[in-house]
Homo-oligomer: A and B are copies of this chain.
Amino acid sequence: MKKLLYVYISVFLLFGIYFYHSHLNAALENTNGIKRERLQGVVNDEYVMVTFMAGIDYWKSVLKGFEDAANELNVSVVYRGGALYDLHEQITILEQVIAKKPAGIAISAINPNDLNATINKAVDMGIPIVLFDSDAPLSNASSFLGTNNYLAGAEAADKMASLINNQGKVAAITLPEQLNHQERTKGFMETMKTKYPKINVVQVLDGEGDQLKSEKVANEIIQKYPDIKGIFVTEANGGVGVADAATKNKKVDLKIISFDVDRKTLDHIENGSISATMAQGTWNMGYWSMQFLFKLHNEKTKNDDHSLPPYVDTGITIVTKENVKEYYAEYTK
């Protein structure tokens, strides 16, 4: 009987230790700030990010944001995109992705209209869809997450004004046929007009998104207005071209503001030939696209029906010599 008692005691002790451990773990979790009740994803849930010209640097930070959110939410990510700047290639890839019925798709549309039928088919199939960076505004996608280009141009104007002490002649080099670039130019010009009466925008020229063409038009501007103080270029190839024109004309005091971050632009910012560039909130595009798709997917599961916010302005950061190092790290690894 004594032996039996020991056994009983051992059993109770064992259970005691077991339960103590459970509670200790729970307590530790509280101390670490981790509780185990949050809405969770499934690793098997696959969310797809679809682009075009899939290899360019620009998408890297978007994908990083998409993956960061997926890690937090405990779901999986697939990256797909055409190699080229080719509508039909993007449609084919999108069709392949849709056929697998993923948990959600984030798309950057190669043009604003021609993906509508494919996007709408996916929406009709119940696949959550958001657009990022380049919208398809007449499609049935749930949201668009991208830069407010008008505000980006306005911020470029504020930065330019502070670089040239709020007075003097400036110019803009842009792509007059593309909506994004029209908006950037409009924001720049209207802000100059309303906020900086001593600044005069003397020319707005077409750089064709090309380094050499932009160098050529910058040359013309410098010849025509030798006292020109600044040039705003609405895309990155042109920014490098304008920097070359300034160097060749020995116009070292010309303030150049470019758009986007690529290695060449960052190099020019580090050596001082470009004063600043407008970095789009690419990480935000990816991170919040993932969060939005996750929300849609889980609402569907829960039969909930709050529609997503239709638009998120993913923001702009001005990159100068002071913070260029962070961008080297983020964009060119």
Contacts and interface: CB of A to CB of B under 8 A. Distances in A.
Contacts of A11: 7, 11, 14
A311 B40 contact: no
A325 B155 CA distance: 44
B309 A313 contact: yes
A33 B45 contact: yes
A38 B72 contact: yes
A293 to B, nearest CB: 14
B35 A74 contact: yes
A4 interface: yes
A303 to B, nearest CB: 13
Contacts of A148: 311
A183 to B, nearest CB: 15
A39 interface: yes
A36 interface: yes
Interface in A148-180: 148
A35 B41 contact: yes
Nearest to A64: B306
A284 B306 contact: yes
Nearest to A144: B313
B284 A309 contact: yes
A42 interface: yes
Copies of this protein in the complex: 2
A10 to B, nearest CB: 8
Contacts of A37: 40, 74
Contacts of A102: none
A36 B39 contact: no
Nearest to A7: B7
A317 interface: yes
Interface in A275-316: 281, 283-284, 287-288, 291, 306-315
Contacts of A287: 306
Interface in A220-247: none
A43 B39 contact: no
A41 B42 contact: no
Contacts of A33: 40-42, 44-45
A172 B170 CA distance: 42
Interface in A46-75: 65, 72-74
A333 interface: no
Contact of A36 (B3, B36, B72, B284): B36
A252 interface: no
Contacts of A79: none
A34 interface: yes
